[in-house]
């Protein structure tokens, strides 16, 4: 192993459980110091105030720093090793963007500051809108949605409002593939639509015949990611968009898999009317342990006036905020996740034309290479050329040796890799979904394939206890029933549980 | 950029795939869809060139305006210790802790975040974050609708107008009746009568205008009619404010920016969401629980997963997936850094400084609209339109507040504002208003 493998897991190894910050607390210790009050003190007698102090931990600053640093050591990350988590695009996040996002004029600006004093921030959003619309083949964008799921809901609310304005209120069906991300049906439901599921065909793509049978005068639209969640390009996309458009429906592009096609082809050219992008995936902003993200929504010209506002417009000598005429309204308290958008623009500027023209190509190249290597040890779900990710299946090993996708994922952790996404898409049995991204080296990809080979051998050996995996990490497999059953979700709960059991 | 392959690497890959160019990867995509001639962009920048570009654009923002604006986002002292710990690459560059064995760091910090949020609000169960304060209110209202199966939302007018817009976007007005209640002299009317078809009582503590009241009796009255009581609290004031839990609220939400996140032009920040355990199965977003591993070691995992979109799909309690974890981590570390005395100082000094400023402004002939009921934030009448006040004060180096109406300005104080800054502000404010 030369990279991506064992070395990356070393910081995670060893040590006993880290106490909670509350367990480290001792009365009278403190990390903070504030200046003495510099205005005349008056008696505060107000019915909304309390007398007692808040029950927060009392720790020294060194204890605080050690505690959170030790916790950081117990966490895997893109900066430590290979994170082939399918559908999440865990590529390298350039450190340079951290610098730009910390420039005080960007990071310390109050969101209610009048636009005459925030021209720089408005310019950032304007330039980024130009980049995003060129990459996706759309015309206008709003940066209100703070994450992909919020972008989806935004798109669906735009469809709803647009259809209402066209007096087509009866159009209530949103068609979603059975392979779609869970956020798709959840967002459609939140927007008040009926969710209609379209089947996937043998090749792993939208079943055109099934689609035709589902489309009718009630069709409001279709949500699709292309490449789809099986990592396959929907080759019949132009047929699909014709079917939906002829029925008076709109096409929504789930941008979760945009990384595969940047510089290759564009959702706008495929017929999509609305597109959200996950800036934290495609444009390399840090995932932050689960967020923040940013899910800007771009639309074709005829939908501009429905965008959530305010959006930035460029005037002859300045930038200003503009609320579109039929806007669906705000999706966020202020301007969305501005600093995430800023980081995405930094990334695009560093890539430039040559980097963006080839971004999707290299993402696909790495996935195609890894799939070729992995397929020698595990069968792939589809016999089709993959795009930026691919799905393998352990269903045969499950039959022969009771080895599940879950077990392969856990064994990979021991070898210093993050697990691929498991059990997704739902339509593939015992699925392992790998997304290597374009920032991994050939050696790392080889290491992962080699590790899969070793794991298949190791787990198939006689006498192996699958539940022993992972073996070399700070904790083993968690008992997932206790917290759900006893709701041990607060540091006061667990002791209680021990007393009662 | 960031693609590591040398020509030797490319040959290795091409050999494995039996191809000779990148274009061959896309032979299965319809020809008419392939981009011809590439995208219309400038060539790439080096970091040095990009530094110049972005610093130039940043300089078009007014720099270092002394901040007297609030409305949910506050200029609170954020120690470098908190920033540098939050930006540890292990926290920054990981994702949702699906694999508990290699994610104990994120899981434990989030468990501590949930516990800290519960402790300072006196609630029982917090989630691992939502997008921001405004969207958290809408999520809380959805919980109340699902719990009560009723259609009327009783909500105070005393909210940031942007938050009200978000609520109006996210709560379907065709299905539900959102009834905004006017404040009476900047307080929610104590004699308000709830009905048995009302789902939720939603109120801000303090109100957007800065006034606050003990809400215990109103919550009792709401409970008597079966409503879910939802409190939107200013978290940086929880060192001095009565806790929402002690006033009986069922759900507490907050804009968490002031705890652990710089102002950031409003995003990314973090929404806090805390409630009682009996509402657990309706809670949106991720929840972290404590358990044991196969060797009986203490372990943290995501729990109650059956509420979430990736499992329940259209039956999920919310569509949220990516949340604001890193900002929640910032909140946890900042709360631990402040401790009971620090968070007390943050609240107490803000109120004292506001009291001083109100008194000085009054002495200078200005009218404070809610002097006695307000705490750290208050409304003042301006003598010229607020938009002019904001422009002219901005030119003098102040973010004077937030325009509340054409002639009313909302001013917020934090522990960071010094007497000197307040005195300078008032001098400029007099000049601007009389000028």
B258-285 pLDDT, tens digit each: 999 999 999 999 999 999 999 999 999 9
At B362, the pLDDT band (50, 70, 90 cuts) reads very high
Partner-chain contact B102 A418, CB within 8 Å: yes
Cα distance from N-terminal residue to C-terminal residue, chain A:
46
CB of A499 less than 8 A from some CB of B: no
Residue B311 pLDDT: 79
* Alpha-carbon distance B225 to nearest alpha carbon in chain A (angstroms): 24
Partner B, chain A 277-336, Cβ-Cβ below 8 Å: 278, 280, 284, 286-295, 308, 328-336
Residue A501 pLDDT: 46
For the domain covering B80-334, report its CATH number: 3.40.640.10
Using the Cα atoms of residue A397, residue A399, residue A405 and residue A411 in order, give the sign of their dihedral.
Answer: negative
At B312, the pLDDT band (50, 70, 90 cuts) reads confident
Q: For chain B, give the number of residues.
A: 435
**pLDDT per 10-residue tile (average), chain A, 501 residues:** 48 73 97 98 96 97 96 94 96 98 97 98 98 98 97 98 97 96 92 96 97 98 97 98 98 98 98 98 98 98 97 97 98 98 98 98 98 98 97 97 96 94 94 98 97 96 94 90 86 68 46
CB of A229 less than 8 A from some CB of B: no
- Work out the widest C-alpha separation in chain B, in whole angstroms: 83
Partner B, chain A 75-134, Cβ-Cβ below 8 Å: 75-80, 83, 85, 88, 90-94, 96, 98-100, 103-114, 116-121, 123-124, 131, 134
Contact (CB, 8 A) for A55 and B120: yes
Which of A269, A351, A364 lies nearest to residue B44, judging by beta carbons?
A: A351
Which residues from chain A sit within 8 angstroms of residue B243, using beta carbons? 50
CB of A462 less than 8 A from some CB of B: no
Contact (CB, 8 A) for B214 and B249: no
Partner-chain contact A480 B303, CB within 8 Å: yes
Which of B319, B327, B418 lies nearest to residue A292, judging by beta carbons?
A: B327
A91-116 per-residue burial string, b: 16 or more CB within 10 A, e: under 16:
bbbbebbeebbebebbbbbbbbbbeb
Nearest residue on chain A to B343, judged by CA atoms?
Answer: A54
In angstroms, the CA A258 to CA A283 distance is 10
Residue B318 pLDDT: 86
Nearest residue on chain A to B315, judged by CA atoms?
Answer: A186
Query: For domain A362-461, which CATH number applies: 3.20.20.80, 3.90.1150.10, 3.50.50.60, 3.30.390.10?
Result: 3.90.1150.10
Residue A484 pLDDT: 81
Which of A78, A333, A467 lies nearest to residue B162, judging by beta carbons?
A: A333
Which residues from chain B sit within 8 angstroms of residue A93, using beta carbons? 92-93
Instruction: Compute CA distances A54 → B122, B235, B259, B338, whole Å.
Output: 10, 11, 14, 11
Residue A248 pLDDT: 98
* Alpha-carbon distance A248 to nearest alpha carbon in chain B (angstroms): 23
Which of A31, A38, A384 lies nearest to residue B339, judging by beta carbons?
A: A31
Helices (H), B171-274: 216-224
Which of A34, A148, A352 lies nearest to residue B322, judging by beta carbons?
A: A148
CA B185 from chain center: how many Å? 27
Partner-chain contact A488 B77, CB within 8 Å: no
Q: What would the two tokens of residue B375 be?
A: 């705490």
Query: For domain B66-77+339-434, which CATH number applies: 3.40.920.10, 3.90.1150.10, 3.40.50.720, 1.10.150.170?
Result: 3.90.1150.10
Q: Are strands B198-205 and B251-255 parallel, antiparallel or unpaired?
A: unpaired
Which residues from chain A sit within 8 angstroms of residue B349, using beta carbons? 34, 37
In angstroms, the CA B2 to CA A367 distance is 16
Which of B30, B109, B280 lies nearest to residue A238, judging by beta carbons?
A: B30
Which residues from chain A sit within 8 angstroms of residue B343, using beta carbons? 54, 56
DSSP string, B87-138: T-HHHHT-----SGGGBHHHHHHHHHHHHHHHHHHT-SEE-S-BS-HHHHHH
Size of interface A-B (CB pairs under 8 A): 657
* Alpha-carbon distance B326 to nearest alpha carbon in chain A (angstroms): 5
Nearest residue on chain B to A68, judged by CA atoms?
Answer: B85
In angstroms, the CA B86 to CA B331 distance is 9
Partner-chain contact B326 A292, CB within 8 Å: yes
Residue A495 pLDDT: 65
Using the Cα atoms of residue B37, residue B38, residue B43 and residue B46 in order, give the sign of their dihedral.
Answer: negative
Partner-chain contact B91 A289, CB within 8 Å: yes
Q: What would the two tokens of residue A328 be?
A: 């669906």
CB of A2 less than 8 A from some CB of B: no
Q: Is this complex scored with an ipTM above 0.95?
A: yes
Q: What would the two tokens of residue B82 be?
A: 């908190």
Which residues from chain B sit within 8 angstroms of residue A433, using beta carbons? none
Domain segments of chain B as ranges: 7-48, 66-77+339-434, 80-334
A206-218 per-residue burial string, b: 16 or more CB within 10 A, e: under 16:
bbeebbeebbeeb
Nearest residue on chain B to A146, judged by CA atoms?
Answer: B131
Contact (CB, 8 A) for B217 and B187: no
Average pLDDT value over all residues in chain B? 96
Domain segments of chain A as ranges: 98-350, 362-461
pLDDT of residue B313 exceeding 90, the answer is no
Residue A480 pLDDT: 86
Which residues from chain B sit within 8 angstroms of residue A366, using beta carbons? 13
CB of A52 less than 8 A from some CB of B: no
Interface test with chain B among A36, A104, A475, by most B beta carbons within 10 Å? A475
Which of B292, B322, B338 lies nearest to residue A290, judging by beta carbons?
A: B322
Residue A15 pLDDT: 65
* Listed range (A151-165, A216-230, B217-231, B316-330) with the worst mean pLDDT: B316-330
Place of tokens 């048995």: B196
Partner-chain contact B35 A186, CB within 8 Å: no
Partner-chain contact B301 A237, CB within 8 Å: no
Higher pLDDT, A9 or B423: B423
Partner-chain contact B267 A47, CB within 8 Å: no
Partner-chain contact A490 B114, CB within 8 Å: yes
* Alpha-carbon distance A8 to nearest alpha carbon in chain B (angstroms): 11
CB of A1 less than 8 A from some CB of B: no
Instruction: Compute CA distances A450 → A4, A10, A344, A370, A415, whole Å.
Output: 12, 20, 34, 11, 11
Residue A241 pLDDT: 98
Partner-chain contact B267 A337, CB within 8 Å: yes
Percent of chain B whose predicted confidence (pLDDT) is above 70: 100
Place of tokens 């309390």: A50
Interface test with chain A among B162, B166, B316, B319, by most A beta carbons within 10 Å? B319
Radius of gyration (Cα) for chain B, nearest Å?
25
Q: Are strands B408-412 and B377-381 parallel, antiparallel or unpaired?
A: antiparallel
Using the Cα atoms of residue A73, residue A78, residue A82 and residue A83 in order, give the sign of their dihedral.
Answer: positive
Partner-chain contact B242 A146, CB within 8 Å: no
Which residues from chain A sit within 8 angstroms of residue B348, using beta carbons? 37, 44
Which residues from chain A sit within 8 angstroms of residue B298, using beta carbons? 17, 475, 494
DSSP string, A37-92: P-S-------TTB-SSPP------HHHHHHHHHHHHHTB--TTTS---BTTS----
Place of tokens 């929402």: B244
The H-or-E segment that residue B359 falls in is: helix B325-363
CATH fold label, A98-350: 3.40.640
């Amino acid at each position: 192993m030369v990279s991506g493998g064992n070395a990356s897991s070393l910081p995670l190894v060893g040590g006993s459980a880290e106490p909670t910050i509350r367990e480290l607390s001792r009365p009278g210790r403190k990390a903070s110091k504030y200046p003495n009050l510099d205005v005349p003190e008056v008696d505060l007698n107000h019915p909304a105030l309390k007398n007692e102090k808040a029950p927060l931990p009392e720790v020294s600053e060194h204890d605080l720093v050690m505690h959170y640093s030790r916790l950081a050591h117990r966490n895997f990350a893109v900066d430590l090793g290979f994170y082939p988590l399918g559908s999440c695009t865990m590529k390298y996040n350039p450190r340079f963007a951290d610098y730009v996002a910390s420039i005080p004029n960007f990071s310390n600006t109050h969101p209610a500051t009048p636009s005459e004093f925030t021209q720089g921030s408005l310019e950032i959003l304007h330039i980024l809108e130009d980049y995003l619309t060129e990459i996706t083949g759309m015309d206008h964008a709003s940066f209100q949605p703070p994450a992909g799921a919020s972008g989806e809901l935004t798109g669906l609310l735009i469809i709803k409002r647009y259809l209402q304005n066209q007096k087509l209120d009866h159009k209530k069906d949103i068609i979603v593939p059975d392979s779609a991300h869970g956020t798709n049906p959840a967002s459609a439901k939140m927007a008040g639509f009926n969710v209609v599921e379209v089947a996937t065909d043998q090749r792993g793509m939208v079943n055109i015949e099934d689609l035709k049978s589902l489309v009718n005068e009630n069709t409001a639209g279709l949500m699709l990611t292309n490449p789809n969640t099986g990592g396959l390009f929907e080759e019949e996309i132009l047929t699909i968009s014709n079917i939906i458009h002829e029925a008076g429906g709109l096409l929504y592009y789930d941008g979760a898999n945009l990384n595969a096609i940047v510089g290759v082809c564009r959702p706008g050219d495929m017929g999509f009317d609305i597109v959200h992008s996950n800036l934290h995936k495609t444009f390399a902003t840090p995932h932050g342990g689960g967020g923040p993200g940013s899910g800007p929504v771009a639309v074709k010209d005829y939908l501009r006036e429905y965008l959530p506002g305010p959006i930035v417009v460029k005037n002859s000598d300045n930038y200003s905020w503009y609320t579109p005429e039929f806007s669906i309204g705000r999706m966020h308290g202020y301007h969305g996740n501005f600093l995430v958008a800023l980081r995405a623009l930094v990334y695009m500027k560093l890539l430039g034309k040559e980097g963006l023209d080839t971004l999707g190509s290299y993402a696909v190249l790495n996935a195609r290479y890894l799939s070729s290597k992995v397929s020698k040890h595990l069968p792939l779900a589809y016999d089709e050329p993959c795009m930026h990710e691919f799905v393998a299946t352990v269903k045969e090993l499950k039959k022969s040796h009771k080895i599940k996708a879950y077990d392969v994922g856990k064994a990979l952790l021991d070898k210093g890799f993050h697990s691929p996404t498991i059990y997704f898409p739902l339509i593939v049995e015992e699925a392992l979904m790998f997304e290597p991204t374009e920032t991994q080296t050939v050696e790392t990809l080889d290491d992962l394939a080699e590790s899969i080979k070793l794991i298949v051998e190791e787990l198939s050996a006689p006498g192996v206890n699958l539940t022993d995996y992972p073996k070399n990490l700070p904790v083993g497999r968690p008992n997932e029933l206790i917290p759900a059953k006893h709701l041990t979700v607060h540091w006061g709960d667990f002791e209680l549980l021990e007393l009662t059991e | 950029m960031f693609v590591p392959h040398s020509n030797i690497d490319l040959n290795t890959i091409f050999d494995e795939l039996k191809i000779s160019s990148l274009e061959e990867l896309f032979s299965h995509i319809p020809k008419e869809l392939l981009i011809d001639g590439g995208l219309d962009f400038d060539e790439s920048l080096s970091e040095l060139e990009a530094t110049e570009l972005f610093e130039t654009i940043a300089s078009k923002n007014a720099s270092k305006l002394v901040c007297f604006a609030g409305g949910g986002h506050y200029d609170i002292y954020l120690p470098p210790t908190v920033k540098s710990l939050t930006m540890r690459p292990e926290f920054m560059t990981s994702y949702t802790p699906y694999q508990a064995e290699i994610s104990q760091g994120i899981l434990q910090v989030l468990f501590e975040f949930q516990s800290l949020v519960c402790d300072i609000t006196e609630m029982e169960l917090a989630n691992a974050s939502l997008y921001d304060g405004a969207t958290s209110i809408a999520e809380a209202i959805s919980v109340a609708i699902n719990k009560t199966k009723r259609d009327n939302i009783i909500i105070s007018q005393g909210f940031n107008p942007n938050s009200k817009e978000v609520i109006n976007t996210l709560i379907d007005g065709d299905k539900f009746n959102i009834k905004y209640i006017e404040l009476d002299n900047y307080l929610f009317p104590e004699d308000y009568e709830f009905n048995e078809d009302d789902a939720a009582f939603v109120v801000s503590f303090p109100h957007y205008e800065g006034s606050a009241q003990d809400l215990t009796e109103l919550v009792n009255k709401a409970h008597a009619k079966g409503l879910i009581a939802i409190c939107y609290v200013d978290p940086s004031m929880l060192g001095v404010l009565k806790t929402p839990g002690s006033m009986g609220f069922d759900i507490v939400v907050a804009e968490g920016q002031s705890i652990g996140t710089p102002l950031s032009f409003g995003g990314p920040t973090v929404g806090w969401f805390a409630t009682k355990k009996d509402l657990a199965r309706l809670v949106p977003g991720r929840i972290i629980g404590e358990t044991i591993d196969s060797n009986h070691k203490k372990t943290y995992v995501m729990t109650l997963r059956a509420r979430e979109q990736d499992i329940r799909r259209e039956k999920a309690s919310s569509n949220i997936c990516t949340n604001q974890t890193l900002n929640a981590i910032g909140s946890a570390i900042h709360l631990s850094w402040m401790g009971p005395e620090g968070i007390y100082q943050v609240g107490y000094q803000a109120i004292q400084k506001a009291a001083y400023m109100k008194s000085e402004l009054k002495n200078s002939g200005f009218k404070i609209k809610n002097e006695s009921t307000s705490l750290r934030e208050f409304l003042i009448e301006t003598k010229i339109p607020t938009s002019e006040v904001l422009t002219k004060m901005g030119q003098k180096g102040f973010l004077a507040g937030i325009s509340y109406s054409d002639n009313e300005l909302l001013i917020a104080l934090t522990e960071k504002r010094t007497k000197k800054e307040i005195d300078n502000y008032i001098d400029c404010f007099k000049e601007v208003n009389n000028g």
